[in-house]
Structure 1
Amino acid sequence: MTRAIAVAGLLLIFGTTAGVAEWNLIPTLDNHPNVCPDQPPEPEWMQNINVRESYKRLLIQQIYRAQSMERVVDSQNCDCLTRYPTWEDAVRFYTERYASSEYWDVVEATSEYRRQANELRRAAMPICEAVGNW
């Protein structure tokens, strides 16, 4: 009997804790960035891309990210226009190099651009932090 009461007590405690934690995980529909609030949105066609082709969107996003970090590092400047330019260059670059690529080639390129962006991120972060854009 004591064991049943102890188990019931633990379930009550864990259930209550989970409920409280769940309150903190309620997503908001407010999608405003904390940094550079006037960031250009992704092109609408990217947001509405067919699920079967979403791997292409991921590549464009990683190209954009890598280009952004590279611009910051090269210019030693992290103003909003440098860090978040329009999507045109990334889309053009993707179209010229990868639009007709096979799935696995795109996946491989996505990994490469992610790696490149992550390496550049280390150098870009202090530059952006210095001006409050990180």
Structure 2
Amino acid sequence: MRNALLCISITVVGFPAAAERDFVPSLDSTSDVCIDRPAEPEWMQNITVREAYRRVLVQDIYRAQNLERIVETGSCTCDTRFPSWEAAETEFRERFNTAERWEMLEASDTYNRRANALRPDAMAICEAEGNW
């Protein structure tokens, strides 16, 4: 009887630790969808912390443009969902390159709102294609 209780307590005590281990987030940034995504431009990867808001704005522009393209075309191919960064960089340079920090932060908010409004429709299109 004593051995049976010992076995049960070891099993019960050991199980939560194993279950918790399955929920530990991975630091690996690879995705199951569109694994050949273009890398961010090098200047964005090497930007200083003090200027990180510039990188965030380009990322927000990129996300909004991509979701918009998915909804407009009704397609969620990898090239549509994750194109090159060129269009986002161009929009950033033409509209915000000399803007003040506060203007870029406001623009980021605007692009995020636009992307969030498009997200449900884009998600439905992408899920139907198995690409979300």
Q: TM-score range by the shorter chain?
A: 0.7 to 0.9
Query: What residue is the counterpart of 2:85 in the other structure?
Result: 87
Distance in structure 1 (CA, Å) of the matches to 2:27 and 2:112: 27
For structure 2, which runs of at least 5 residues remain unmatched after alignment? 1-12
Q: Which amino acid aligns with 1:41?
A: A
Which of 30, 43, 46 is residue 45 of structure 1 equivalent to? 43
Q: Does 1:123 align with 2:121?
A: yes
Match of 1:49, SS state, is coil
Alignment of 1:1-134 (within 5 A): 20=17, 23-24=21-22, 28-134=26-132
The Cα of 1:24 is off from its aligned counterpart by 4.9
**1:25-62: CA deviation from partner (whole Å, max 9, x where unpaired):** 65545321121011101011101101000001000000
**1:86-119: CA deviation from partner (whole Å, max 9, x where unpaired):** 0000001000000100010000000110110010
Distance in structure 1 (CA, Å) of the matches to 2:23 and 2:53: 28
Match of 1:38, SS state, is coil
Q: Which runs of 4+ in 1 moved over 2 A?
A: 19-31
Distance in structure 1 (CA, Å) of the matches to 2:128 and 2:20: 35
Distance in structure 1 (CA, Å) of the matches to 2:128 and 2:114: 22
The Cα of 1:84 is off from its aligned counterpart by 0.5
For structure 1, which runs of at least 5 residues remain unmatched after alignment? 1-15
Report the TM-score when normalising by structure 2.
Answer: 0.81
Query: What residue is the counterpart of 2:6 in the other structure?
Result: none
Query: What residue is the counterpart of 2:8 in the other structure?
Result: none
Distance in structure 2 (CA, Å) of the matches to 1:78 and 1:131: 7
How big is the alpha-carbon RMSD for the aligned residues of Structure 1 and Structure 2? 2.0
Match of 1:65, SS state, is helix
* Paired-residue identity, %: 52
**1:59-87: CA deviation from partner (whole Å, max 9, x where unpaired):** 00000000000000000010000110000
Distance in structure 2 (CA, Å) of the matches to 1:33 and 1:43: 19
Distance in structure 2 (CA, Å) of the matches to 1:38 and 1:47: 18
